[in-house]
Amino acid sequence: MADKKFTSVEQELLEEVMLHRRDVRGNKFLKKEVPDEVIEKILLAASLAPSVGFSQPWEFVIVRDNNTKKLIADSFELENKKAEEMFFDEKRAAYAKLKLEGIHETPINIAAFYKPSVKPVLGQTTMKEAGEYSVVCAVQNMWLMARALNIGLGWVSIVNPESVKEILKSPPDNKLIAYLCIGYVKEFFDGPELEKLNWESRKSISTVVYQNSYSDDKQ
């Protein structure tokens, strides 16, 4: 529909979905299959994301095989031990208690890849990373659609990208952007889990917005 206008009710609904989007971690998922049509909706949402030069540089690998999941989980465990050592005192103790992935708990894992173009891409000639940012936009669309469908989604960033590429037999030029765990959940928290655990607090808008330049205000 050309020039579609959205009502205030629809605008508020979008805001509600964004307010209640959560990064869901392990032990929060249910042992319940996700229908294929639901996954198709989530992937359709990804395909509707903005992309530099309309390049649509994303590719997705859907992982259901338990042996493949085990290999990915092994990569996570290795990297997670390294990550834990970067924190100290109370933070390290708190980190050790976190369940930061749901690789085995979810029926569906999805790896999102950036596939570089073999030809110049409009808008990407100066900022090469814009193609990768486009895939991140696709992941955000997936997150919002999953939440609208009452499906949990967790982004597992503590994996070795090259190991995941090897496990999934990715083309050499592809770059792993996100490894996602998708499934129904026991509940959605009323706020981000790490905020509830006092790991970090939410920044106020006023602390991250500047006018005209960094030097024009915040004097």
The pLDDT value given to residue 126? 96
- Which residue in the block uniquely carries the two structure tokens 């929060």? 28
Residue ranges of the chain with per-residue pLDDT less than 70: 217-219
Report if residue 177 sits inside a domain.
Answer: yes
Q: Of 55, 75, 54, 51, whose CA–CA distance to 63 is shortest?
A: 75
Please tell me the distance from the alpha carbon of residue 77 to that of residue 108, in angstroms, as a whole number: 19
Q: How many CA atoms lie within 13 A of 163 on its CB side?
A: 17
Residues 150 and 74: beta-carbon distance below 8 Å? no
Report if residue 75 sits inside a domain.
Answer: yes
Residues 181 and 29: beta-carbon distance below 8 Å? yes
Model's pTM, two decimal places? 0.94
Report if residue 66 sits inside a domain.
Answer: yes
Report if residue 106 sits inside a domain.
Answer: yes
Domain count, the chain: 1
Report if residue 122 sits inside a domain.
Answer: yes
- Residue 130 belongs to domain with CATH number: 3.40.109.10
Q: Of 137, 110, 112, 138, whose CA–CA distance to 34 is shortest?
A: 110
Report if residue 153 sits inside a domain.
Answer: yes
The pLDDT value given to residue 219? 47
Report if residue 65 sits inside a domain.
Answer: yes
Residues 105 and 27: beta-carbon distance below 8 Å? yes
Domain of 48? 31-198
pLDDT digits (tens, 9 = 90+) for 35-82: 999 999 999 999 999 999 999 999 999 999 999 999 999 999 999 999
Report if residue 39 sits inside a domain.
Answer: yes
